[in-house]
Amino acid sequence: MVVSDSDASGGEQEQDGGTGRKPESPSRPVTAAARRERRATARPAGKSAARADDKTRPAGKSGEKSAPDAKGAPTPKRDQKPKKASVFARLVRFIREVWAELRKVIWPNRKQMVTYTIVVLAFVVFMVGLVSVLDLAFKWGIGKIFG
- 3-state SS of 66-122 is CCCCCCCCCCCCCCCCCCCCCHHHHHHHHHHHHHHHHHHCCCCCHHHHHHHHHHHHH
Q: What span, in angstroms and rounded, lies between the C-alpha atoms of 128 and 126?
A: 6
Q: What span, in angstroms and rounded, lies between the C-alpha atoms of 47 and 55?
A: 14
Q: Rounded mean pLDDT of 112-140?
A: 97
Q: What span, in angstroms and rounded, lies between the C-alpha atoms of 132 and 135?
A: 5
pLDDT of residue 12: 46
Q: What span, in angstroms and rounded, lies between the C-alpha atoms of 12 and 8?
A: 9
pLDDT band at 23 (very low <50, low <70, confident <90, very high): low
Least trusted range by pLDDT, from 34-38, 84-88, 133-137: 34-38
pLDDT of residue 71: 78
Q: What span, in angstroms and rounded, lies between the C-alpha atoms of 28 and 42?
A: 13
Distances (CA, A) of 41 to 24, 45, 113: 18, 9, 56
Q: Rounded mean pLDDT of 124-129?
A: 98
Q: Rounded mean pLDDT of 84-110?
A: 93
What residues contact 57, with CB distance under 8 A and at least 6 apart? 51
